[in-house]
Chains A and B, each alone.
Chain A
Amino acid sequence: MYPIVSITVFLPLLGALFVLFIRKAPAQAVHGIGIVTSGLTLLGAILMWSRGVNETGFAQFEQINWMPSIGAAYRVGVDGISLPLVLLTAILFFVTFIYSARVRKQSHAFVALMLLLETASIGAFTALDAILFYVFFEVSLVSMYFMIAQWGHEDRQRAALMFFIYTFLGSLPLLLAILGLYLGSDPHTFDMRVWISNPPLEGIAAMLALVAMLITFAVKTPVFPFHTWLPAAHVQAPAAGSVILAGVMLKFGTYGLVRFALQMTPDAFREAGLVILVFGVIAALYGAFAALAQSDLKRMVAYTSINHMGYIIVGVAIAALATEPAIRATALDGSVLQMVSHGLVTGALFLLVGMLQDRAHTREMGQFGGLLKVVPMLGWSFVLAAFASLGLPGLAHFPAEFQIFLATLQVEPVAIIVILGIVITAGLYLRAIARVFLGETGEKWTTATMSDLNYRELLALGPLLVLIIVLGIAPAWVLDIIHKTTSALQL
Chain B
Amino acid sequence: MGVSAQEDLYKEATQTYGATLQRLARAYESDPDKRRDLLQDIHLALWLSLEKYEARCSLRTWVYRVAHNTATSHVIRQHRTNSRELFSLEQIEAMPDGVNPARDAGDRMAIERLFELIHQLKPLERDVMLLYLEDLDAATIAEITGISAVHVRVQIHRIKVILTRRFHKGGHS
- Do A and B come from the same complex? no
On A, residues with C-beta under 8 Å from B are none
On B, residues with C-beta under 8 Å from A are none
